[in-house]
Amino acid sequence: MNLLSLHALAVGTAIVLILVGLAGALVRRNLLKIVLGFSIADSGVNLLIVTLGHIPGRTAPIIDDPKLLKDAGSLVVDASKVVDPLPQALVLTAIVIGVGVTALMLAFVVRLYAQGKSLDIRDFGRLKW
């Protein structure tokens, strides 16, 4: 299998994940499942970003092999041998933020359930118009 199809597969998966996540958040009435939906969509976005930094034929930007160094003496990476490291750094941050937001949303769900004894989003629409 060539790498191009892997790339396409990753992009496809990411888009599917985003759509599935948003669809879940849109149609599921359960608060927990809505939160879950956003988590899934987040994962899709993260996957997509990692894929964006991917360059066919290169390896991860982690120095586990001296061959990745420009010359043996220094610790400078040969940029032509690794993929773009920036998206990966971004995704790490995005994952952390995603966890934070998910935790906060779950905290909301817990408190909403404690007050309303329901997990159905339709029961939480008292403010309107």
Partner 1 sequence: MVSPILLVAVPLGAAFLLPMADRLGRPVARGLHLLTLLFAGGLALRWLMAFQAGAPAELITTGGWPPPIGISLRFGVEEAVLVLLAAAVAFVAALHLARREQASDVRGLVIQLLLVTGSFGLIMTRDLFNVFVFLEISSIATYAIVAFGREREGLEAGFKYMVVGSAASIFVLLGIALLYKATGTLNLDDMLNRIHDVPPAVAPLLGGVLLLLATGFLVETKMWPFNGPAIDLYDGVEPGVMALVVGTVVNAVLWTFWKVMLLAGDAWVSTVVMTVGMVTFVVSNFLAIRQGRVRRMLGYSSSAQLGLLVFLLPLVRDGHVPLLAAALLLVNHTLAKAALLWLAGLHGGETMEDWAGAFRGRVALGVTLLTSVVAITGLPPFPGFWGKWEVVASLARSPFAWWILPLLLGSLFEFVYYFGWLRAMRPDEDEGAAPIVSGAPFGILEAVAPLLMAGALLAYGLWWTAFMLPPDAVALLGLGLLGLVLLIVPGRVPRARAGLALVAMLVTAWLVLPLKVELLLGTFEGLFGAIVLLGGILVALAGLGTGNERQGHWGLLLVLVASSLWILRAETLLAFFAAWEIMTWSSWLLVRQGRRASRAAWLYILFGAGGGLAVLGGFAVAMGAGVDWIRDLGHLSGLPALAAFSLLAAGFLAKAAAWGLHVWAPGAYSESPDTFSPFLSGVVSKLPVFALMTVAVRAGGEVLGARMLPVEPLHAVAWIGGLTALGMTLLAVFQEDMKRLLAYSSVGQVAYAIVGFAILSPLGWSAALYQVVNHFLFKTMLFLAVAGVIYRTGARRFSQLGGLITRMPVSFVFVLVGIIAVAGVPPLSGFAAKWLLYQALMEKGWFFLTVVMMFASVVAFPYLFRLIHSIFLGQLRDDLRETREAPWPLLAAQFVLLGLIMALSVFPGAFLASVDRVIAATFGGTGLRYEQWLVTGPLGYLSGPGIMAMVMVLFVVLFLFLFFAGPRPVKVKQLDIVYAGEVPPPPEQVHVAYDMYRHYKRAWEPALRSWVVRFWNFVGETADGIAETGRKFYTGNGQTYLLYTLLFLAILGLAWASAAPAGASPAGPGERAVATGACDPGTGPEAAAEPIERDPGAGGTFPAAATLCPVGARAAE
Interacting residue with partner 1 among 9, 86, 92, 95 (CB under 8 A): 86
Fill in the DSSP letter of residue 54: -
Is residue 49 part of the contact set for partner 1 (CB under 8 A)? yes
| Cβ-based neighbours of 48, under 8 Å, separated by 6 or more | 10, 11, 14, 15, 18
Q: How many chain residues interact with partner 1 (CB under 8 A)?
A: 40
The binder of partner 1 chosen from 93, 117, 118, 119 (CB under 8 A): 93
Binding segment (CB under 8 A) for partner 1, from list 2-10, 47-55, 58-66, 73-81: 47-55
Three-class SS of residue 57?
Answer: coil
Helices (H), 1-129: 3-27, 31-52, 86-116
Cα distances (Å, whole numbers) of residue 33 to 39, 40, 123? 10, 10, 15
Q: Given the rule CB under 8 A, which residues bind partner 1? A: 18, 22, 25-27, 29, 31, 34, 38, 41-42, 45, 48-49, 52, 86-87, 90, 93-94, 97, 100-101, 104-105, 107-109, 111-112, 115-116, 121-122, 124-129
